[in-house]
Structure formats: structure tokens, C-alpha cells
Amino acid sequence: MIYTNLENLSNEISEVVNQFGIDLDLKLTARFDGENKMMVFTEFSGKEFKFEYKLTYDGPLEKKRVIKRFIKLSAYKTMTECFGEKLPWGALTGIRPTKLAYQQGERWQKFFLDVMDVSPEKTNLIAEILSSQKPYYSPMGSVSDLFVSIPFCPSRCAYCSFLSSEISKLKRLDEYVDALIFEIESAKKLPLKYKCVYVGGGTPVSLPDEYFDRIMNALSGDYREFTVEAGRPDCITKEKLDIMKRYGVTRVCVNPQTFLDKTLQLIGRRHSAADVIEKYQLVKSYGFDVNMDLIAGLPNESFEDFCYSLDKAAQLDPENITVHTLCLKKGSKLKENSARLDAGDVAKMVDYAHNKLKLSGYLPYYLYRQKYMAGNLENTGYTKNGKACVYNIDIMEEYADIVACGANGVSKKVYGGEDRIERFASPKDVDTYLSKVEQIIEQKNKVFG
Ligand code: SF4
């Protein structure tokens, strides 16, 4: 429980405390001395601390950010003092450390290391990513991407907390496809030039061929990049790949998660590692760029098991490999079954992936963090030279407008000059989405039109 006189920040404070894997009482009181001085008093487990900060900011929005940052830092320092333990990302709890680095400008490394107590290894990882992003990063131009959500899967994986429906149980699939195409066509009429298209899931290729063809047809156009998150190999077929080729897809995600059959069974995936390899080769025969997702920290996997999967992926040599850290949220079967994770092993896995992939010719190019990640780590995308997924950079660094279509899609309008982002999410549940699709389109016309 958090006791504070800054109630609007109590969630942020608990985020910091929860990173230490405990649920204990922390008392935090802030006092202001004029406009530029803040004192923070904390009390945890019978120990008391006092922190003093000089507040420098440019405008009220920046002032709020600076106060929030120092409040989180006070909570973090209190916890590190009491537990004698530091975290790899220090007092940073945000999803986008790279975006924060850009915002801090030239002094970002000093800020990460000296103020936020981020480890030198993670600071260096950010430096590598900023360097890889140089040819792609374009915050000045008006950039727009199109995201299409197909929130259906053939079955549910045990670690999944995403609201994805089992496709065989869905009664209104044909209506969903009609509504989605209507939304895509409306999005294409907006006065925007889309740079990238990303069809995400769920598992978009779990749709019947006829529906998939109609959606791809509605999307076809001239883009820099067109990704389909095919995901699970049990749904990748020659027919689906023919459709993707016909409508101009450039990049396909084939996600093994692990190359160990025993783990695939345990997490409820209905395919083997051999299926992944077979489908990967089929996808490559069409000339698509391929991304492979792997997860560090899957249940019952040792460090050696993870290394086996990582080596296998590197050997297959796809253009992109994304290394996720297992993240167990409420709603996933694994969370309900309280699978235990060894945070130390997961950190070793993530380090191994970084070193091995760099030796194999990959560079880290985007990164994000989530709540409840094993070991408080991160998800990192690696790429072969010149093959980075531009959409992933656009969405993480938040300089591009995202027009999202479909249930659970989140559109984003970036007002660069005002340092402001407006987000609006479509309903997650298909029935509600269907009843509101016209309103959703109207709202997008107003914001992006
Ligand atoms: S394929 Fe992805 S979205 Fe579908 S159930 Fe598995 S983890 Fe969830």
C-alpha cells in the first residue's frame, strides 16, 4: 500500500515498489519550497529518508514530468537502500526508454546513469539502438502508418493475456470482416500517405482464405513496408502466402517462441519446432523478409534451453529476431497457475541473446518494456543491416500518426509542435466493436481528416 500526499502519483510509486517483487507499505510525502525546490520524505520498513531536488522545467507539462520523475526516483532510492539491490533499468518504469533518451538530447547518457541509476549495460544497449535507428528515425516529417487488428487465434497460448478470441468459437466473423474492410477503406480516404502497414493479431492468418484475401485486397497499395504478423506456423499455408504476395506484403512474422517441443506443448501451441522450420523455409521461398519472436523465461526452460532456441533462430538467419522477456499478466493461464520464474536466469538469457546475435551480424534496433516482465528486463528487436522494421521504430518512438482499424486497435494522433499525443482505442470485444464501427470511423475522420 502506498501512502502519499500526491495521490495522483500513487500508481507510479507502486510501479516502482512492485518492481522489487513485493507488496509492502511505503509512505511518501512531498513538500515544495517555492517553484523550484522539492523535498521528499519517505518511510519504509521502519527506516526514514529525505531527498532534495532542484526543479528545472520549461512550462507546466514539463514541470509535471520532472516532479513525477523525482517522486519515482525517491521511491526507487528508498527501495535500493532497504534491499541493497539495484535494478537494471534503475528508476525507469516507462515503456519507451529510447524515446526518453531522444527527449533528453545530448545529455541523455548522463541522465540515465547519474540521475535514473540505469546500469551501464542497459545505457549502452540504448546507445546501440539509437545508432541503429539513425537511417530510419524521422521525427520531423508528417509520418502515418496503418495498423489492422485481427484479434483471433486458432487456440489460446498459456502465457497470453491478450484479448484474442478462438476463431472457431466466433459467431460474427463475416460481419467482422465486412466492418474491418469498411474501416480500412475509410482510412484510405483520409488525407494521409501511409508509409507502413502492419497487420497484427492475434493470428491474422487464422482467418479463412476468402476473408484474408478480401482484407489484403482492401489494404493493397504502395507502401515502404507491409508486414503481416502470421505468427503461428500451424496457420501458415501456401494459399495464404500466395495472397500476401499478390497484394504486396514485404515482411512476415513467423514466431517460434522456442524451438523446444516440450515447451511448445506446455504453453499450448499446437505445432512442433520442425513445423516452424518448414514454414519458415516456405515463407523465405516467397522472398519475404522474416521476423522471428523468441521468449526468454518460458516455464521449465533452463538457460541452456533458451540458448538452444536462440542459436537455432540465428542459424536460420531471418532478417529480424525479436527477443521477448516473459511477461505474465492477469488473464493468462500461466499466471493463474502461478508458474515461477527465475529472474537471474532470464537476465543471463537476455545477455546471451545480445552477444550471440551481435556475433551473428544482428544489431538491436528497437526496445520496449512492459509491466510484470521477468527480471524487470525488456523486449528487444534485432535486425540485419538495412532490414529494420520501420513500423516498429515509428510506433516506439511515437513521432508517427497511427491509424488503427479493427477491434482492439489503438489510433494515435501526434501533435509534434505541442508535445502532445491523442490516443483513442476501439472496443476490444467484437460485438461492441461491430455496434460502434461507424462512430469509430467518424472520430478518425474528425481527428485525421
Ligand atoms: S498466438 Fe499470440 S495472441 Fe494468439 S493466443 Fe498465442 S500469444 Fe495470444
For 275-320, the pLDDT digits (tens) are 999 999 999 999 999 999 999 999 899 999 999 999 999 999 999 9
Task: Write the CATH number for 215.
Answer: 3.20.20.70
What's the domain count of the chain? 2
Query: What's the gap in Å between 404 CA and the centre of ligand 1?
Result: 19
Q: Please indicate, yes or no, whether residues 170 and 47 belong to a single structural domain of this protein.
A: no
Q: State which ligand 1 atom lies nearest to the alpha carbon of 232.
A: 1
pLDDT at 131 (0 to 100): 97
Query: What's the gap in Å between 163 CA and the centre of ligand 1?
Result: 9
pLDDT at 114 (0 to 100): 94
Q: Please indicate, yes or no, whether residues 184 and 277 belong to a single structural domain of this protein.
A: yes
Q: Please indicate, yes or no, whether residues 256 and 385 belong to a single structural domain of this protein.
A: yes
Decide if 154 contacts 235 (C-beta within 8 A).
yes
Decide if 296 contacts 353 (C-beta within 8 A).
yes
Q: Whose CA is closest to 90, among 110, 68, 64, 72?
A: 72
Interatomic CA distance for residues 86 and 416, integer angstroms: 35
Task: Write the CATH number for 64.
Answer: 3.30.160
Query: What's the gap in Å between 262 CA and the centre of ligand 1?
Result: 18
pLDDT at 448 (0 to 100): 93
Q: For residue 325, what are the CA distances in angstroms to 20, 346, 353, 380?
A: 17, 7, 11, 9
Alpha-helical (H) ranges within 190-291 are 209-219, 238-246, 261-266, 273-285
- Is 316 part of any domain? yes
- Is 431 part of any domain? no
Q: Please indicate, yes or no, whether residues 25 and 162 belong to a single structural domain of this protein.
A: no
Ligand 1, atom 7: closest residue by C-alpha = 160
DSSP state at residue 345? H
- Is 432 part of any domain? no
List the Cα angle 177/180/186 in 5-degree steps. Answer: 145
Q: Please indicate, yes or no, whether residues 39 and 181 belong to a single structural domain of this protein.
A: no
- Is 108 part of any domain? no
Decide if 237 contacts 213 (C-beta within 8 A).
no
Binding pocket residue ranges, ligand 1, CB within 6 Å: 153, 156-157, 160, 162, 164, 201-203, 231-232
Q: State which ligand 1 atom lies nearest to the alpha carbon of 164.
A: 3
List the Cα angle 167/168/170 in 5-degree steps. Answer: 65
Query: What's the gap in Å between 99 CA and the centre of ligand 1?
Result: 27
Interatomic CA distance for residues 27 and 258, integer angstroms: 43
Interatomic CA distance for residues 435 and 329, integer angstroms: 28
Query: What's the gap in Å between 289 CA and the centre of ligand 1?
Result: 21
Tens of pLDDT, residue by residue over 66-88, are 999 999 999 999 999 998 889 99
Ligand 1, atom 8: closest residue by C-alpha = 160
Cβ neighbours of residue 173 under 8 Å, at least 6 residues apart? 152, 167, 207, 208, 211
| Residue to substitute in 159, 163, 164 for testing ligand 1 pocket (most ligand atoms within 8 angstroms of CB) | 164
Residue 432 cell numbers, joined:
461492441
3-state secondary structure of 161: coil
Q: Please indicate, yes or no, whether residues 147 and 79 belong to a single structural domain of this protein.
A: no
Cβ neighbours of residue 184 under 8 Å, at least 6 residues apart? 146, 148, 215, 218, 219, 405
- Is 115 part of any domain? no
| Residue to substitute in 149, 153, 329, 408 for testing ligand 1 pocket (most ligand atoms within 8 angstroms of CB) | 153
Query: What's the gap in Å between 156 CA and the centre of ligand 1?
Result: 6
Residue 228 cell numbers, joined:
503481416
Decide if 350 contacts 91 (C-beta within 8 A).
no
Residue 29 cell numbers, joined:
510525502
- Is 362 part of any domain? yes
Decide if 2 contacts 28 (C-beta within 8 A).
yes
Q: Whose CA is closest to 292, among 369, 332, 232, 205?
A: 232
Q: Please indicate, yes or no, whether residues 167 and 302 belong to a single structural domain of this protein.
A: yes
Query: What's the gap in Å between 279 CA and the centre of ligand 1?
Result: 18
Q: Please indicate, yes or no, whether residues 67 and 198 belong to a single structural domain of this protein.
A: no
Q: At what angle do helices 10-18 and 60-83 cross, to 10 degrees?
A: 30
Decide if 299 contacts 339 (C-beta within 8 A).
yes
Residue type, 181: I
Q: Please indicate, yes or no, whether residues 304 and 177 belong to a single structural domain of this protein.
A: yes
Query: What's the gap in Å between 95 CA and the centre of ligand 1?
Result: 21
pLDDT at 334 (0 to 100): 60
DSSP state at residue 112? I
> How do strand 2-4 and strand 165-166 relate by DSSP bridges?
unpaired
Decide if 15 contacts 89 (C-beta within 8 A).
no
Q: Please indicate, yes or no, whether residues 281 and 395 belong to a single structural domain of this protein.
A: yes
pLDDT at 341 (0 to 100): 55
- Residues spanned by the domain of 45: 2-85
| Residue to substitute in 157, 292, 295, 333 for testing ligand 1 pocket (most ligand atoms within 8 angstroms of CB) | 157
Cβ neighbours of residue 367 under 8 Å, at least 6 residues apart? 97, 98, 125, 126, 129, 378, 379, 380, 381, 396
Q: Please indicate, yes or no, whether residues 390 and 267 belong to a single structural domain of this protein.
A: yes
pLDDT at 332 (0 to 100): 61
Decide if 208 contacts 214 (C-beta within 8 A).
no
Interatomic CA distance for residues 219 and 181, integer angstroms: 8
Interatomic CA distance for residues 237 and 279, integer angstroms: 8
pLDDT at 170 (0 to 100): 82
Q: Please indicate, yes or no, whether residues 80 and 170 belong to a single structural domain of this protein.
A: no
Global pTM reads: 0.92
- Is 306 part of any domain? yes
- Is 165 part of any domain? yes
Query: What's the gap in Å between 139 CA and the centre of ligand 1?
Result: 32
Cβ neighbours of residue 231 under 8 Å, at least 6 residues apart? 153, 201, 202, 203, 204, 205, 253, 254, 255
Tens of pLDDT along the chain (449 residues) come to: 899 999 899 988 988 888 887 667 899 999 999 889 999 999 998 899 999 999 998 888 889 989 999 999 999 999 999 988 899 999 998 899 999 999 999 999 999 999 999 999 999 999 999 999 999 998 877 789 999 999 988 888 887 877 667 888 888 999 999 999 999 999 999 999 999 999 998 899 999 999 999 999 999 999 999 999 998 898 999 999 999 999 999 999 999 999 999 999 999 888 999 999 999 999 999 999 999 999 999 989 999 999 999 999 999 999 999 999 987 665 566 654 544 456 678 999 999 999 999 999 999 999 999 877 767 899 999 999 999 999 999 999 999 999 999 999 999 999 877 778 999 999 999 999 999 999 999 999 999 98
pLDDT at 338 (0 to 100): 45
Query: What's the gap in Å between 273 CA and the centre of ligand 1?
Result: 17
In our burial notation (b when 16+ CB lie closer than 10 A, e otherwise), range 151-182 reads bbbbbebbbbbbebbebeeeeebeebbebbbe
Ligand 1, atom 6: closest residue by C-alpha = 157
Q: State which ligand 1 atom lies nearest to the alpha carbon of 201.
A: 3
